[in-house]
Structure 1
């Protein structure tokens, strides 16, 4: 009997020790983040890992300036998430200032949820669709996460390092660079920087929507130049559209083909999750690169 009596408390203590971790300090709450676009949601969710849950206000398949009627509906779809969000992240470019940020602010005010403090990019004029610029954005997002949740800084640092490496992995090889450097293109304004500075392609001309550059570089203006200087375009291989801006360059393609120039019109994207299977910014850039290779 003595053996049984002494064993009982020991077994009880052993059970407590085994079960103790289950009742230790509870897991931290998930950080809920509202992002104006998927450009910010991508680094936020990657760097934040399992500590973060995020949504995007703007539809990644369309340019935010075309979504005036869509954004309020997308906010309503996320009306249970937004009021309880911990962080609000914005690029703070003209589209955010005119459409995304005011729509969220108005929603919060109209429902008496309080005001919003936005984390905004230090230089909203800086583009994001090259590896170098995407890394700069990721560094800022990492800083916002650490500022909010400093106890997990090492976790965010590790995932930030992995995120940055994803861009190193998609840099063009020397053979790809050589091929791209010899390729002449006409490119939509929003894609000029990655095409010219990152891929190193030879930009013969650019086109843009009517509202950009005072209407001086529309597709119709490029067609006029083709008609006036056809030899300038003789070696153009690609016309590069921007997915979120809609179809702008069909007339340019037709004009070149009418002159016997065998050009191909392709579509780049600059928002993650705008195409199935292209979920990160690194995958966006790799997708664009492969189109012209």
Structure 2
């Protein structure tokens, strides 16, 4: 009996020691730091009541324009960040140059340890089409399931619901017909969804000075309009990218000088950047509705 009692005591002690360790690896709520709202959106939805998430970058501006803003946003969220369980980044050039280093420097300066980043497998893929948004969300779902395997089924179900939100915004047949016949000039960051998702007729595109070695600036497009005005006769929209600032005013003015009444409109690509577009599906639907 004494041996059995001794064994029971040892077993109870082992359980007592093991349980806290397990609880530490899978806390009741995962705190997630995301570089942008592009990751915060799927993390929040798929994680449901198992997750709290924040975004470091302001969704209304491109991160390269936020060198003074991001450190302030980090300071405002310092208590959350120091206790975070996960760090998620898209790992594109903006994340690599601005968002991730800002977090890393903050963690180092305050002796909070090292941020172990979860990063997208193919950051060049982009995210602003339904297909690419689903691929991004699938990776987020995988990260959550690996971190918290006890709730793997929960995350899978939430991912499936999240993916359906993109199916609901696909253009109808009548919308496709209209969009296919619409000619546009578009900002580089929106060219893929405009051309390959919405199916619009891209006559030309423009980009910031730092992109493509400065060969596709708005000024270059204006030069082409002046040289080949007939090419642009049926352009209906000039599509800007909200986070990049106003680049295409000169294009709009040049077209109007040629008697071409094209409308300059603004797409966005970050959730939370405009009213009524708090999720990525709502962002894409917002953009689609602008040109219908």
Confirm or deny a common fold (TM above 0.5): yes
* Cα distance in structure 2, aligned partners of 1:128 and 1:280: 12
CA deviations over 1:80-119 (Å, ceiling 9, x no partner): 1001000000001111010010000000000011111100
Residue number in structure 2 paired with 1:194: 193
Residue number in structure 1 paired with 2:207: 208
Q: Secondary structure at the match of 2:135?
A: helix
TM-score by length of 1: 0.90
Map 1:100-179 → 2, pairs under 5 A: 100-179=99-178
Residue number in structure 2 paired with 1:87: 86
* Cα distance in structure 1, aligned partners of 2:56 and 2:130: 24
Q: Aligned-pair distance for 1:68? A: 1.1
Residue number in structure 1 paired with 2:34: 35
Residue number in structure 2 paired with 1:54: 53
CA deviations over 1:147-167 (Å, ceiling 9, x no partner): 000000111111100000000
Residue number in structure 2 paired with 1:272: 271
Residue number in structure 2 paired with 1:241: 240
Q: Aligned-pair distance for 1:28? A: 5.6
Residue number in structure 2 paired with 1:287: 286
Q: Aligned-pair distance for 1:59? A: 0.4
Residue number in structure 1 paired with 2:262: 263
* Cα distance in structure 1, aligned partners of 2:194 and 2:154: 34
* Cα distance in structure 1, aligned partners of 2:275 and 2:32: 23
Instruction: Kindly tell me the number of residue pairs found equivalent between the two proteins.
Output: 268
Residue number in structure 1 paired with 2:95: 96
CA deviations over 1:42-99 (Å, ceiling 9, x no partner): 0000000011000001100000111111111110010110010000000011110100
Instruction: Provide the aligned C-alpha RMSD in A.
Output: 1.1
User: Structure 1 stretches (4+) deviating beyond 3 angstroms?
Assistant: none
Gaps of 5+ in 2: 1-22
